[in-house]
Amino acid sequence: MDNRFALLIDADNVSAKYIKPILDELSKYGNVTYKRIYGDWTKTNNASWKEELLQNSITPIQQFSYTQGKNATDSAMIIDAMDMLYTSELEGFCLVSSDSDFTKLASRLRESGKTVIGMGEDKTPSPFRKACDIFTVLELLLEDSTMDKDEKEEKNFSHQNHGKEQRKENAISKDKIEEAVVKIITENQNDDRETGLGEVGSRLVKLYPDFDVRRYGYSLLSKFLETLPKLKLTQEGTKVSVSLYEDKSKKDMLEEYIMRQIQSNGRYGISLGSLGNRIHTRFRDFKVRDYGFSQFKQYIESFPNVEIVEDGERTRAVYMKDEGRG
């Protein structure tokens, strides 16, 4: 049976343009049993929500603004959440607001054993983010929902220079993420256990509730982890495990990474441009001259069983199986 969630939206602090990404994201966690939105519906600035409420079956809760400059929705939303906590069989709550006033509510719900998913704009204060089990930035959801499959694939392998500066500032550093994953893998190795991709994802979110690979320009956790030099991903069937590059020089790590990228693209190979982008994303200080070559093409051509193919449109590196072997 799917987990049941209550979706509570603070209309005074969230734009109507986010509703579809919010519902799509929340559907990953379970069924939305309650959908309520709180605001002063006599105000014109909430007019954009009215059509969305009808289309998505969201119940509006009227809360008049009795005092100028005060957010009227906070108390009504908090009271409803506490009523649901004690009278409804829910596994979790999704609180949508960019306001830190719901920090204590999130903490109280978690103390009662409920999962709390927070969503808000990038300006949301840190205390509310950390009070949630998971916190997702609404701008990232909106951006992700408007991209088609090809754009997401291109985004996965692009340099991070294209990200929004404010999001970069708020994001946890990649070095910290790598350090945390190394610790997870080391702990599992001490217990003779493999580390799965799913475990890495869930434990990172527990450590950093607002961790989201979309902040770094990726749509998949696996693609993001591949850019961290100390980590190695291995896939067997549908199972993906994460391990460390141990006792290997940087040169060995680089060459193993390049061969894996070429081989994984099958008989069509990979364009030298895409391959170069991936290498620079993972090994940020890579320079082909450090390996004795003046051109990137010559360097890739030096790899065993790798052939450079030019088809008029692009130059590709293709892995050619050694026909002398069985």
Per-residue pLDDT tens, the chain, 326 aa: give them: 689 999 999 988 889 999 999 999 999 899 999 999 998 888 777 788 888 888 899 999 987 765 554 556 788 899 999 999 999 999 999 999 998 889 999 999 999 999 999 999 999 999 999 999 999 999 988 887 665 544 444 444 444 444 444 455 567 888 899 999 999 998 988 888 899 999 999 999 989 988 888 888 888 899 899 888 888 888 888 899 998 876 567 788 888 889 989 988 888 889 999 999 989 888 888 888 888 888 999 999 999 999 999 877 789 999 987 654 44
Question: In the numeric block, which tokens belong to residue 193?
Answer: 């256990």
Question: In the numeric block, which tokens belong to residue 116?
Answer: 């709390």
Q: How far apart are CA 63 and CA 46, in angstroms?
A: 12
Torsion, Cα of 177, 181, 182, 184 (10° steps): 140
Q: How far apart are CA 226 and CA 290, in angstroms?
A: 22
CB proximity list for 192: less than 8 A, separation 6 or greater: none
pLDDT at 165: 45
CB 37 within 8 A of CB 59: yes
* Domains of the chain: residue spans and CATH: 4-145 (3.40.50.1010), 149-244 (3.30.420), 250-319 (3.30.420)
Q: How far apart are CA 51 and CA 60, in angstroms?
A: 12
What's the number of CA atoms in the CB half-sphere (13 Å) around residue 302? 11
pLDDT at 2: 82
pLDDT at 291: 81
In this structure, what DSSP letter does residue 196 have? Answer: B
Pairing type for strands 4-10 and 92-96 reads: parallel
pLDDT at 325: 43
Query: Whose CA is closest to 243, among 292, 194, 190?
Result: 194
